[in-house]
Amino acid sequence: MSTKLDPMDLFDVRSELAEDEVMVKNTVARYVDDKVIPLMREAFEKHEFPRHLIGEVAELGLLGSSIEGYDCAGLNSVSYGLICQELERGDSGLRSFVSVQSSLVMFPIHAYGSEEQKQRWLPAMARGEAIGCFGLTESQGGSDPSNMKTHAKRDGDDWILNGSKMWITNATIADAAIVWANTDEGVKGFIVEKDMPGFDSQEIKNKFSLRASVTGALFFNNVRVPEASVLPGVSSLKGPLSCLTQARYGITWGVIGAAQACLNEVLHYTRDRILFGRPLANTQTIQIRLAEMSRHITTAQLLALRLGRIKDKGDLSPTQVSMAKWNNCRSAIDIARDARDILGGAGISAEYVPIRHMLNLESVITYEGTETVHQLVVGKELTGVNAFG
C-alpha cells in the first residue's frame, strides 16, 4: 500500500535533497513558522519592515549564504534556493531583503570588488551590521537599463556621481548602495555610503504590495565617490545583469513558498467550509482547482531543483533563469489569486494569507524583469532575433 503523499511536495522533491540541504530547509522552516509568520500580517498592515528580523536571519547564516569565506556560510545554490522558499512562505518582503543583501549587494562586491572592499563590507553584511541596496532602475524605464541616465565623471582620484534611482528595496535603511552609472569607461558599480554629501533617499509609502519591505528612491547630486569605492572588476551592463541572474534564481524558489502557503490555507478552509450541505472540498470543481494548484507547485519545484543543480555545476544560462522566473512567478500569482477566490469574502481579509501573498506577488512578477522581459529573453534564445532592439 502506498504511503500518503505530502500535499506540499507531491513528487517528493525533498528526497532529491542532500542531508545538509534538508537541514538548511528544516532550520529555516522552523524559524519562519515560529518567528516570521506570527508577525507578518501586522507588519504588512502597518506598512513596516520588521527590522529586528535582520539580526535573526544573520544569526542563522542566511545573508550572503552562497559566499565562501568572509564570515559567510558557503552553502550551495540549492540551499540558497531553499532558504528563499522558506522565507517567502512567510512573506515576500523578508525574502526580498535577503535577496537584495545576498544576491544584489554582497554578490557584486564578492565578484567584482577589490580585496579591501570585500574585507570591509562582506563580514559586516553577513552579520547584518551593514545593510545594502542595489540601484539599477531609473524612472524612465526599468526594463531597459541600457537607457541609464545616472552618470559619473572622473575628478582627480575621485568620481562625481549625478542622477537618481527609483523603486529601490532597502533604499532608506541601507548603509551602502551599489549604484550602477554610465561613465566614459562603460557602466560601473559605485559603493555609495549613506553619509556621503549629496546622497539622499526617500521612502515610497503608498504601496499596496510588499508593504513589509522598504522601497524608495535614491538621489545623487554631485556625490564625490573615491576610486577605492568603485568596483574594479566590471565596466559594462554585464555587471548589474549578472547580479540579476543571482537574484532571479532565488525568486524562482521563493515564490514556491508563497504558493505553498496559499494552497495550505485553502486545503484547510475547504475541508471546514460547509456549503450546500457538504464540505467545499467535496465538490468536483473545487478539487480540480486544488489539483491545478498542486500541479503548478510541483512543476515549479522540479524546475527550481533542476535549475539549482545546473547552477551548482556552473553551467547556468540566463535564459534558463528567465524561463524559471517567468514560470514560477506566473504559477504563484495564479495560485494566490485563485486561493483568494476560493475563500470567498473571507479571502479579502488579512486574517487569511492569500491576499497578502497575491498582492506581494504583483511586485515579484514585475521586479527582476517583468514577465514580458523574460518571455522575450526566451524568444531571443529560440529565434536568434533580439526583439528588444
**Residue from the set 40, 100, 266, 355 that interacts with ligand TGC by CB under 6 A:** 100
Answer yes or no whether residue 388 interacts with ligand FAD by CB under 6 A.
yes
Other Cβ atoms closer than 10 A to 151 = 17
Specify whether the CB–CB gap between 58 and 127 falls below 8 A: yes
Q: Binders of ligand FAD among 215-254, rule CB under 6 A?
A: 215
Q: Binders of ligand FAD among 142-201, rule CB under 6 A?
A: 142-143, 167-169
User: Which of 88, 64, 66 has the alpha carbon at shortest distance from 329?
Assistant: 88
What is d(CA 3, CA 13) in angstroms, rounded to the nearest whole number?
Answer: 16
Nearer to ligand FAD, 96 or 294 (CB): 96
**Residue from the set 17, 39, 241, 281 that interacts with ligand TGC by CB under 6 A:** 241
Which partner from the list ligand TGC, ligand FAD, none does 372 bind, CB cut-off 5 to 8 Å by kind? ligand FAD
Strands 278-279 and 274-275: antiparallel
Which partner from the list ligand FAD, ligand TGC, none does 236 bind, CB cut-off 5 to 8 Å by kind? ligand TGC
3-state secondary structure of 331: helix
Amino acid letter for position 94 = L
Answer yes or no whether residue 77 interacts with ligand TGC by CB under 6 A.
no
Burial (CB count within 10 angstroms: exposed 0-12, middle 13-18, buried 19+), residue 161: buried
> How many positions of this chain bind ligand FAD (CB under 6 A)?
22
Residue written as grid cell 568596483: 231
In angstroms, give the least distance from the CB of 248 to ligand FAD. Answer: 11
Answer yes or no whether residue 326 interacts with ligand TGC by CB under 6 A.
no
Binding characters for ligand FAD, 354-373, by CB under 6 A (x = yes): ---------x--xxx-x-xx
In angstroms, give the least distance from the CB of 29 to ligand TGC. Answer: 20
Which 8-state DSSP code applies to residue 101? Answer: I
Triad 261, 266, 267: Cα angle to 5°: 95
Residue written as grid cell 547630486: 221
Report residue 257: phi and psi, to 5°.
Answer: -60, -45
Interface contacts to ligand TGC, rule CB under 6 A:
96, 99-100, 134, 136-137, 142-146, 169, 236-238, 241-242, 244-245, 247, 318, 367-369, 373, 377, 388
Contacting positions for ligand FAD (CB under 6 A): 100, 133-137, 141-143, 167-169, 210, 215, 363, 366-368, 370, 372-373, 388
